[in-house]
Amino acid sequence: MSIRDVANAAGVSHQTVSRVINGHPRVRPATRARVEAVIAELGFRRSVAAHALASGRTRSVTVLTANTTHYGRAALLRGVEEAARAASYAVGICVVESEEPRAVRDALDRATDAGGGLIVIAYDEPGLRALEQAPAGLPLVAAVETPAAAPPAASPWVWTDDRRAAREATEHLLGLGHRTVHYLAIPSTTRSRGGSQRAAGWREALTRASAAVPEPVAAGWTPAEGYAAGRRLAADPGVTAVLCGNDDLALGLLRALHEAGRRVPEDVSVVGFDDAPHAAYLAPALTTVRQDFHEVGRVCFGRLHGLIEGGAPVGPHALATPRLTVRESTGPAAPPA
Amino acid sequence: MSIRDVANAAGVSHQTVSRVINGHPRVRPATRARVEAVIAELGFRRSVAAHALASGRTRSVTVLTANTTHYGRAALLRGVEEAARAASYAVGICVVESEEPRAVRDALDRATDAGGGLIVIAYDEPGLRALEQAPAGLPLVAAVETPAAAPPAASPWVWTDDRRAAREATEHLLGLGHRTVHYLAIPSTTRSRGGSQRAAGWREALTRASAAVPEPVAAGWTPAEGYAAGRRLAADPGVTAVLCGNDDLALGLLRALHEAGRRVPEDVSVVGFDDAPHAAYLAPALTTVRQDFHEVGRVCFGRLHGLIEGGAPVGPHALATPRLTVRESTGPAAPPA
DNA sequence: GGCCCGCATGTGACCGGTCACCATCCTGGG
DNA sequence: CCCAGGATGGTGACCGGTCACATGCGGGCC
């Protein structure tokens, strides 16, 4: 079933069929109608492979990421998928296993082979390496951490200002009377010396308030890692307020505090990050910074789409600053004994 | 950069290059080495589009699902991706928005256009409809609920026996002295009259024990829905044990119970389903049924891969029965007042 | 020494689209 | 009445692989 079969059945040339399926204007309405009727009758669908080969365009994007299940990345992926679907683009996924050069190159090769545009989730080291090593000329947009400085005008980056959000979250805690705020850290990309931008915002707030800046506690992304690292925090009676790099970490920390017999928020206040679906339903409900990853994904696709179809160069783009959502896990510092 | 360029540079015909990249045995080692050297030097990569067009094979699978973010489906997707990557298959995702015929047909069209194999996650109505309406002849494997009866030998289905697991979970609760067990239900596919197989297992245990069978409480998949529906359960003092269709629902229920001032497990016992990453870190830690979606995904891909490459027909396949993991959210029924 | 055969390799068609370019037909202005 | 030029539509090459088949060559066997 090719355009030539359709052409025969409709009594036109294959080129006319091609014009019809591509919405080319120079086709008489009567001819167009006849061809469309035959297409519907035969159930013709154009071959994606042939189209891609002949035109060089694929109408597809692939999302390159280190993980597809953690909340933020999964939500971002969903945003991409929705926007892509609306534009009838196909979406592929390509996971970078680790930050080893070989794994990064493999992933890049796979992503490039797919032929379409590329959306890189560069929230972590593997993603960031992939972004840095992506071949020039490949249509690409990246979701990144808040840049430390003003990015070059040509960087196709999308982010939310979570550095500022982290600062505000820290100030919220400080405003509650806590002497200082500890930080339970998600892994940072090595490019940003001194930790992620979330960490930078936290440090900034502390410094401005002349509060002590404790050593950040390194964790990972998952509740299990938050729990493991959180036990140290829970064991330290000097800790009364903790900002967590994400809500899963906060969940683990909450558990560690619970086991240590420390009440939240009476003894310790906890702030999460991202507003994952579970945050509002924990007991205590988690105060957290609401991030719209869904929107980040949509914007990434939108800009990539513009780049592919319009050729318009894509520059850096910040979304609205995420806002702190205060719930039950934060409260006034206990008065000094 | 095509195989002909490589051929010229290596002083062989394009066909010999083709044989080399496909690992065809009838090539002299010296020739092969020379061609491989040129390929490496030029950085040649075969065009996926041209390969697909000429051979009719795509080396890709697309996962058709109603959702990519809920734990079970996300984990399954991850399993598929890992297995696919190991086999150097590309993976695409295709989301069915709703169960409307139009949406289902669209999704199927998109999935079919991709050209490769298809993995349908048919845990819900949209997925199930897509499965039922998938064109015959398309290489396809589906992750489904536990079948009610022995499935036809030709059904390419993969599942875990969660009906039995639900029965065991219910029996665990009954064994703790609860008079009956309520069920907070995930949406069921209409094909299985009377609810999902999880519901069937629950009902079976109740019936065997001659316990009353309360009306299941319909919820959705998310904590928010579990909370909304759970409030009714929490308000009913007769409720002392609840089985939840998944862990997110259980989370919402836990919250509703907390707000209603009912202690878990002292007043009410709660069992979840799936063992999502957060289950073990809630306070109380959730007793739940551990599901290996990751493995389901791997198996789906493995069978599809066999179908595509080997042509071996794929029949139904049950994985090991998921096991109950007892944690803190279940306890003995309170002695009658 | 001639013949047959299998290995190694080359040749050209073909997959199903798109692209550049050409052929008609029709209309209107000079 | 003729010709320019826009509107329609057709022709054949081409994208970069794979496939079926042809060809050259060397060795074993009689």
- What is the H or E stretch that residue B287 is in? none
Percentage of residues of chain B with pLDDT beyond 90: 90
Distance from CA of A210 to the nearest CA of B (A): 35
Domains assigned to chain B: 3-46 (1.10.260.40), 58-161+292-320 (3.40.50.2300), 162-291 (3.40.50.2300)
Residue of A53, A60, A278, A298 to mutate, testing the B interface (most B Cβ within 10 Å of its Cβ): A278
Q: Residue A89 gets which letter from DSSP?
A: -
Runs of H (alpha helix) within chain A: 3-10, 14-21, 29-42, 48-55, 71-86, 101-114, 125-133, 162-175, 197-208, 223-235, 247-259, 293-305
Judged by C1' against the alpha carbon of B55, the nearest nucleotide is D18
Rounded to an integer, the average pLDDT of B186-197 is 72
Q: What is the pLDDT of residue A336?
A: 65
Q: Which residue of B has its CA nearest to A80?
A: B93
Non-local CB neighbours of A142 within 8 Å, separated by 6+ positions: A119, A120, A121, A122, A131, A155, A156, A157, A158, A300
Runs of H (alpha helix) within chain B: 3-10, 14-21, 29-42, 48-55, 71-86, 101-114, 125-133, 162-175, 197-208, 223-235, 247-259, 293-305
SS3 A43: coil
The separation, in Å, between residue A105 CA and nucleotide D15 C1' comes to: 27
The separation, in Å, between residue B18 CA and nucleotide D17 C1' comes to: 8
Percent helix, strand and coil across chain B, each rounded to 5? Answer: 45, 15, 40
Q: What is the pLDDT of residue A194?
A: 56
Strand D bases with any atom < 7 A from protein Cβ: 7-12, 14-20
Spell out a b/e string for B210-247, using b for 16 or more CB atoms within 10 Å of the CB, else e: ebeebebbebbbbbbbbbebbbebbeeeebbbbbbbbb
Beta bridge partners of A218: A185
Based on C-alpha coordinates, what's the Rg of chain A?
25
Q: Which residue of A has its CA nearest to B74?
A: A69
Q: What is the pLDDT of residue B191?
A: 64
What is the C-alpha separation between B293 and B160, in angstroms, rounded?
A: 9
Q: What is the pLDDT of residue A188?
A: 82
Residue of B89, B121, B278 to mutate, testing the A interface (most A Cβ within 10 Å of its Cβ): B278
- Does A281 contact B254 at a Cβ distance shorter than 8 Å? yes
Q: What is the pLDDT of residue A9?
A: 95
Enter the tokens of residue B38.
């040129």
Enter the tokens of residue B36.
């491989």
Q: Is the pLDDT of residue B30 over 70?
A: yes
User: Poorest-confidence range of B134-143, B235-244, B286-295, B327-336?
Assistant: B327-336
Q: What is the pLDDT of residue B223?
A: 98
Enter the tokens of residue B45.
């990569």
Q: What is the pLDDT of residue A265?
A: 96
What is the C-alpha separation between A216 and A230, in angstroms, rounded?
A: 11
Pairing of β B90-95 and β A90-95 = antiparallel
Between the two ends of chain A, the Cα-to-Cα distance in Å is 82
Enter the tokens of residue B269.
């016992």
Tokens 């009714």 sit on residue: B232
User: Poorest-confidence range of B4-18, B157-171, B311-325?
Assistant: B311-325
Distance from CA of A151 to the nearest CA of B (A): 31
Q: What is the pLDDT of residue B151?
A: 87
Q: B66-121 pLDDT, tens per residue?
A: 999 999 999 999 999 999 999 999 999 999 999 999 999 999 999 999 999 999 99
Q: A12-27 pLDDT, tens per residue?
A: 999 999 999 999 998 9
Judged by C1' against the alpha carbon of B53, the nearest nucleotide is C15
Greatest alpha-carbon pair distance for chain B in Å reads 93
What residues of chain A score a pLDDT lower than 50?
none
- Mean of per-residue pLDDT scores for chain B: 95
SS3 A190: coil
Enter the tokens of residue A277.
């679906």
What is the C-alpha separation between B194 and B218, in angstroms, rounded?
A: 12
Q: Which residue of B has its CA nearest to A264?
A: B283
Q: What is the pLDDT of residue B188?
A: 81
The separation, in Å, between residue B310 CA and nucleotide D29 C1' comes to: 40
Phi/psi class of residue B301: alpha, beta or left (left: φ > 0; alpha: ψ in -120 to 50)? Answer: alpha
Q: What is the pLDDT of residue B197?
A: 85
Q: What is the pLDDT of residue A319?
A: 95
pLDDT confidence band for B336 (50 / 70 / 90): low
Q: What is the pLDDT of residue B196?
A: 80
pLDDT confidence band for B194 (50 / 70 / 90): low
What is the C-alpha separation between B146 and B166, in angstroms, rounded?
A: 11
Q: What is the pLDDT of residue A248?
A: 98
**φ, ψ of residue B157 in degrees (nearest 5):** -110, 145
Judged by C1' against the alpha carbon of A10, the nearest nucleotide is D9
Rounded to an integer, the average pLDDT of B169-181 is 97
CB A230 within 8 A of CB A260: no
Q: Is the CB of A290 under 7 A from strand C?
A: no
Q: What is the pLDDT of residue A191?
A: 64
Q: Which residue of A has its CA nearest to B103?
A: A85
Q: Is the CB of B51 under 7 A from strand D?
A: yes
Enter the tokens of residue B79.
């399993």
Alpha carbon separation from B64 to B91, B123, B188, B308 (Å, rounded)? 11, 11, 18, 17
What is the C-alpha separation between A10 and A6, in angstroms, rounded?
A: 6
